[in-house]
Amino acid sequence: MAIKNALLVDDSKVARFALSKLLENRDMQVKMACSAEEALDFLSSNEHPDVIFMDHLMPGMNGVEATKAIKSNPNTAGIPIIMCTSQKSSSFTKEAKNFGVYNILTKPTQPDGLGLVLEQLAIDVTDGALPAAPLFESEPEAEADDNFTGIPDDPSLDMNPQQAESKPALNGDASPSVVPLTSDLIEQISRSAVKTHVNNRLHELLSSLFDEQFDHLKRALEESRGKQESMIEERLNAMSGLVEQRTHNLKDEVAAEVNLNLGRELADLKKELSRNSGFTSDHMAELKDHITSVQTIDTEFWQTLQSEAIQQAHEISRETAEDIAQRTIDLFVSQQRSASSKIYTVALAASLGVFSLGIAWLAGLFG
């Protein structure tokens, strides 16, 4: 099962920002809370995350107390909690396991360590190997530990012998079991209380200082980025204007050079054409010989054509006359009894006349 959602609980903006970036780089959705109380409110009214990253030392409810509250609630007891702290020791790790912490990350968190922890968590979730939530009601109180601030919330109560004697006896014993308050024990309790108070106060001040420095650095970076963008834009605009100006000048120079070269080439071509223009004497002689040869060919052609036409005309006239004469003779033979000789003579004369006129016309046309 992939770990996709996380709740990040830390009172430091810097720490929240740094760890959230590492988680987002692993394609995780991150919700953040600046205190343990805000984290508990979030869990009671929103969908539960796949994992909780809990800061150790925070003002008000610290990380250990918040872990106890989450693990004591049946609705949230199954959420794995990874505690982020600058104090990592074997005793601290063992005690943290007893409080229900899944694993520990040392501040500042490194990407490699975070990756290993999340990979192991995904394997344990898939295999169902997550540790069960501890039962705080039946377990004895943990021994005092400076890392977990395992001292009474109000050390003055345990330091007062009268208050200690007034406590009811356990299991019905007649004589209550009271630890005598020696000077060493009082000094130890006082040192623990003072150390815890100083650590919490120092952590609060350092977190506030880091937050102020972070905000100041963020504003400075934004102002610097704005100035750089403005300066880059101005330089780009200036460079664009310079490039456009030089390009325009370059266009004019190229156009002038091209026009000059074209003018030179046109002038050379004009001179070459002027030298080679017109017909030379040789050209005229060739043209005259060609015209003479063409005229000779045309004359011979027309003479041949005329001779052939006259010959064809004579043949056509002769064939026509013979045909007419033959028809006349046939007509005379068939009608010799009824036709007079005068008609025959007229027809023959007409035929001869037509023949003569045809020959005369053809001779006048082609003569």
In order, the DSSP letters of 121-133 are HHHHHHHT-PPPP
Most confident of 57-61, 327-331, 359-363: 57-61
Mean pLDDT on 247-270: 79
pLDDT digits (tens, 9 = 90+) for 60-106: 899 989 999 999 999 999 999 999 987 767 777 788 888 889 999 98
Torsion from C-alpha of 244, 247, 248, 251, nearest 10 degrees:
-160
pLDDT bin (cut points 50, 70, 90) of residue 367 is low
Residue 243 has a pLDDT of 81
pLDDT at 366: 53
- Name the more confident of 326 and 176: 326
- Judge whether 68 and 99 are in contact, CB under 8 Å: yes
What value does the mean pLDDT take over residues 198-205?
Answer: 68
Mean pLDDT score, 166-192:
58
Class of residue 204 by CB neighbours under 10 A (exposed 0-12, middle 13-18, buried 19+): middle
Residue 252 has a pLDDT of 75
Q: What is the per-residue pLDDT for 143?
A: 41
pLDDT score of 69: 92
> What is the pTM assigned to this prediction?
0.44
- Strand 103-106 relative to strand 29-33, pairing: unpaired
Residue 302 pLDDT > 60 = yes
Does residue 304 carry a pLDDT above 50?
A: yes
The answer to whether the beta carbons of residues 366 and 310 sit under 8 Å apart is yes
Q: Which two tokens stand for residue 355?
A: 């023949």
The arithmetic mean of pLDDT across residues 311-323, rounded, is 80
Q: Does pLDDT of 277 surpass 80?
A: no
Residue 107 banded pLDDT, cuts 50, 70, 90? confident
Phi and psi at residue 79, in whole multiples of 5°? -80, 125
Q: Are 68 and 136 in contact (CB under 8 A)?
A: yes
Q: Tell me the pLDDT band of 38, cut-offs 50, 70 and 90.
A: very high
- How much is the average pLDDT of 119-144? 72
pLDDT at 334 over 70: yes
The confidence score (pLDDT) of residue 36 equals 93
Most confident of 55-59, 211-215, 350-354: 55-59
Between CA 174 and CA 182, with CA 177 as vertex, the angle to 5 degrees is: 140
Give the per-residue pLDDT at 303: 74
